[in-house]
């Protein structure tokens, strides 16, 4: 079993939809949770960074962490075609090491 | 633009050859990480350097080696290349190299081994 599981998609939604992206994990020592966006043939770009449980909002993006369920989510409101990318979750115990999910491909249709 | 630069963008070579990938971290960042991304494995951590010293090793093959120079740029050397080494190689940098630091990724080097 992988430490971090992420549905690879692809996920296709119409423009304006609310998108929900999720990761589950098995290591209860993870405390730091990140979401990266990766456009095709580009490097991952940090979107959200959260510590421990709770919600964090930044514009159209909301990150949620539920440590009791070992489940994290990224919500995208009013999705745009420019949001079409692969979304990677990443987690850390607070040491150097990030563990990444394999990514979910999102396509927002105009 | 993350501020992390990587060269070359693309590299095509043959099995058995050796290549060097180069990374310059963001200004002020002391730590560099190398990752390999393939379609079936996702982003795999290879190795981390902090201020010239190796700090941590991940799933790095013995045929691969890296170093970080006094000016903080880093090089990843891949030797005796195999078809399975074809992948995207990313460098990331952070200020202190701790797990609480944000890692900023470069644009990657696409390696194709024929």
pLDDT at B96: 85
Name the token pair of B13: 């070579």
Where residue B31 falls among pLDDT bands split at 50, 70, 90?
Answer: very high
Task: Find chain B residues with C-beta within 8 A of A95's C-beta.
Answer: 56, 98-99
* DSSP 3-state of B83: helix
Cβ pair B100:A42 closer than 8 A = no
Number of H helices, E strands in chain A: 0, 11
Q: What residue of A is the nearest CA neighbor of B38? A: A102
Task: Find chain A residues with C-beta within 8 A of B108's C-beta.
Answer: 41-43
Cβ pair B107:A43 closer than 8 A = yes
Stated length of chain A: 110
User: DSSP secondary structure string, A23-43?
Assistant: EEE--TT--EEEEEEE-TTS-
pLDDT at A78 > cutoff 90:
yes
Determine if the peptide bond prior to B8 is cis (ω within 30°).
Answer: yes
Closest by CA to B16, choosing from B78, B82, B61, B77, is B82
- Minimal Cβ distance to A96: which of B2, B98, B107: B98
Contact (Cβ atoms closer than 8 angstroms) between residue A18 and residue A79? yes
Stated length of chain B: 114
Contact (Cβ atoms closer than 8 angstroms) between residue B3 and residue B18? no
Residue range B38-93, pLDDT digits in tens: 877 788 999 999 999 999 898 899 999 999 999 999 999 999 999 999 999 999 99
């Amino acid at each position: 079993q992988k430490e971090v599981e992420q549905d690879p998609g692809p996920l296709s939604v119409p423009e304006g939809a609310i998108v929900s992206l999720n990761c589950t994990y098995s290591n209860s020592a993870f405390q730091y949770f990140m979401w990266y966006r990766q456009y095709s043939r580009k490097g991952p770009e940090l979107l959200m960074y959260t510590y421990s449980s709770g919600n964090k909002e930044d514009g159209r993006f909301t990150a949620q962490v539920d440590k009791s369920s070992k489940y994290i989510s990224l919500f995208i409101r009013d999705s745009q075609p420019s949001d079409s990318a692969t979304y990677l979750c990443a987690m850390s115990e607070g040491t150097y090491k990030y563990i990444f999910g394999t990514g979910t491909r999102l396509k927002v249709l105009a | 633009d993350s501020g992390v630069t990587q060269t070359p963008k693309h590299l095509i070579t043959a099995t058995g050859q050796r290549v060097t990938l180069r990374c310059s971290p963001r200004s002020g960042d002391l730590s560099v990480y190398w990752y390999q991304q393939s379609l079936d494995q996702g982003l795999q951590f290879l190795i981390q350097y902090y201020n010239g010293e190796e700090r941590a090793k991940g799933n790095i093959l013995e045929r691969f080696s890296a170093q970080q120079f006094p000016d903080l740029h880093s090089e990843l050397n891949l030797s005796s290349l195999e078809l399975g080494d074809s992948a995207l190689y990313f460098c990331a940098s952070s200020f202190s190299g701790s797990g609480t630091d944000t890692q900023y990724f470069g644009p990657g080097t696409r390696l194709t081994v024929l």
